[in-house]
Structure 1
């Protein structure tokens, strides 16, 4: 078993889990210079067999049967808090001297236990979170930091589905650069609404969070009303991540100067800001398709996590690693605070996916535009 890796050679990787694990396999396929996939560890279902066949690697159903020369394991199995055996498997592999990248979320105590086992065996354990590495999220984080260098935050308004509550907290932490003081509490509701409202503060900034706390027990990864939507407000306006995959927008706060209120003069002193667009898209105007997101963008983001793990294995594992570990422990605690306030998700079985042709909406808007053009033509 390799306890440390030579900088110049490929790391031998096994992917544990064949559902979301397929995204890890896609990521690894694009990093063939740095990693070599040597197996898939799963329960042996038809999906697992087919997954290993597509990857061209053996399928293992017992961790004890893995080759002795495995360097890295990607544990893409639900953690104990989510009803799976991911955390137990991670500790087992760490105990064998294997470096581990485990998909979030992970209970604080399980995370701490894995970190202790990693230190005991002299290997690296990292928590993976592809969402903070997505292009639109990275743009939002960069824009937020630039904004907060100039103006203090007044509020955070955020929404997500319960399945991605951990990444929401992680995105806020990266964007704001501060976590404490942190407090969160559920607001009263009638019990039937799809979103539960939470209020509190993050880094001392007032926080409102709405979470779709619903799950289809048969199909828990689908039927989400949204992934993430975040607005950070300042005196100058609001910066918004409209969706996890963009776009990122800036909306200056409306301020009507006295010269407009008193004389309807839009050219006078202190009216220059009125010439700015009411909303500006920061970055690409059109977000990507879901096909591109799933086939290309998510694997690329996971690839960033994998390369960060490789850097931690082959490089300095002191200061930077300790800061990352402490951040993840804090995020895990904050995520648990959030889910404790939410309570158990409402079960909504037998949900049905009904795609809508966007052209129907485009046509409706085109009618409004045509009507507006006709009115303008009539005025002239």
Structure 2
């Protein structure tokens, strides 16, 4: 079960790159027939499809990389059509809870699997952060989460936090302190106090760009805090600073914990370049997500794991995300020109 059709060639370009080197086989591109899609079909030597009816004969798995209804597209309708035709579907986030519920019902009726792909949770730096966070939570109770993101990727941020904490429930959101470019949302997630700053801005002339950052997350405990500085790393552990007093009320500087570095990098010291992110890291995340879909499909065929288990988690995630976006409100609309990114050398 390795034949894959990619639906959509906008962000679908990343999915096409992911399939170039195996272990999966790209067998077609489903799109509306634009020059861009036709060009990719020629470049990858696969047919350009225009009807979901053409997919089952060519593929076992489909990647639906088309905007869902909640963000103004028809991706969920396409996913439902493919599921009804017996094709397992990996669908790019975000999804409204109602859309996802319909897809899960269609998957159950056809005995196939539907997975949501938030992509970032499948990247090595995020996986490393989540694993460290889970170990940290086993050692000490999480006391707070402090995070920041762009509104574009808030759905994925909540997925990262949910995996780090081991769950999303219960959650609450309080009044929002509006600001530019960041609005501040407070509440709880997984029962842990949350402070979240969201860049609630979109540039309609270039809607997928002009983000000040993707994700930045700090998980705090009694013993210190763990920070994912950027979606793509690095990860920093900062032990909590505490200097006690001796019998003469002087700083007790011989305590063992005072010999700990005030900050330590976990994993690579250098984050990947943007070329490496788009050309290698993101495609590897897609392959990992596809591998999980294939495994779930094979388990379902063998009457193994429940194919709806992940779906229930993402239903919860979708409802949480809807609550958060309702609290944050409509994004500010901007007209932006391409920025000039700076190198570290220019400011050092």
TM-score by length of 1: 0.87
Alignment counterpart, residue 236 of structure 2, candidates 216, 232, 249: 249
The answer as to 2:36 corresponding to 1:38 is: no
Residue from 100, 103, 110 that aligns with 2:92: 103
Q: 2:297 aligned with 1:308, yes or no?
A: no
Q: 1:265 to 1:96 in 2, by over 3 A?
A: closer
Matched, 1:28 2:19: yes
| Alignment match, 2:333 | 347
Equivalent of residue 151 in structure 1, options 136, 140, 161: 140
1:72 Cα offset (Å): 1.6
Distance in 2 (CA, whole Å) between partners of 1:233 and 1:299 is 31
Secondary structure of the structure 1 residue equivalent to 2:265: strand
Deviates further, 46-55 or 334-343: 46-55
Residue correspondences, number: 346
Give the aligned CA root-mean-square deviation in angstroms. Answer: 1.7
Q: Would the alpha carbon gap of residues 165 and 27 (structure 1) be closer, same or farther in structure 2, given more than 3 Å must change?
A: same
- Indicate conservation of the 8 Å contact 1:229/1:242, yes or no: yes
For 2:262 and 2:209, the matched residues in 1 are separated by 34
How many Å separate the matches in 2 of 1:57 and 1:168?
35
Answer yes or no: is the 8 Å Cα contact 1:250–1:281 preserved in 2: yes
> 1:276-296 CA deviation, whole Å, 9 max, x = no partner?
111111111111111111101
Name the CA distance, whole Å, in 1 between partners of 2:291 and 2:177. 44
Specify every segment of 5 or more residues in structure 2 that has no aligned partner in the other structure, as ranges: none
In structure 2, what is the Cα distance between the partners aligned to 1:242 and 1:182? 24
- Please report how far the alpha carbon of residue 265 of structure 1 lies from its aligned counterpart in structure 2 after TM superposition: 5.2
Partner of 1:219: 206
Asked whether the 8 Å contact 1:260–1:266 carries over to 2, the reply is: no
- Partner of residue 210 from structure 1, selected from 197, 208, 226: 197
State the match for 2:182 in structure 1.
195
| Cα distance between partner residues in 1 of 2:252 and 2:243 | 11
Structure ID, larger Rg: 1
Q: Report if aligned partners of 1:186, 1:196 keep a CA contact under 8 Å in 2.
A: no
CA–CA separation in structure 2 for the residues paired with 1:97 and 1:265: 68
How far apart in 2 are the matches of 1:276 and 1:360? 32
How has the CA–CA distance of structure 1 residues 169 and 265 changed in structure 2, closer, same or farther, with 3 Å as cutoff? closer
Which of these residues, 202, 221, 230, is aligned with residue 217 of structure 2?
Answer: 230
CA distance in 2, matches of 1:125, 1:77: 15
| Higher alpha-carbon deviation: 251-260 or 232-241 | 251-260
1:334 pairs with 2:283: no
- For residues 67-105 of structure 1, what are the alpha-carbon distances to aligned partners after superposition, in whole Å with 9 as ceiling and x for unaligned? 634322110000000111100111111122211111111
Distance 2:335 2:295 in 1: 43
CA deviation digits over 1:309-364, x for unaligned, max 9? Answer: 111111246544332111111111111111111111111113332122332123xx
The answer for the alignment partner of 1:372 in structure 2 is none
Aligned to 2:8: 17
Confirm or deny: 8 A CA contact 1:131 1:301 kept in the other structure: yes
Matched position secondary structure for 1:321 = coil
Does the 8 Å contact 2:104/2:308 carry over to 1? no
CA distance in 2, matches of 1:24, 1:164: 18
Alpha-carbon distance between aligned partners in 1 of 2:131 and 2:185, rounded to the nearest angstrom: 26
The 5-angstrom pairing of residues 250-329 of structure 1 reads: 250-259=237-246, 262-264=249-251, 266-267=253-254, 271-316=255-300, 318-329=304-315
Q: State the partner residue of 2:120.
A: 131
In the alignment, is the contact (CA less than 8 A) between 2:4 and 2:59 conserved in 1? yes
Q: 1:318 to 1:105 in 2, by over 3 A?
A: farther
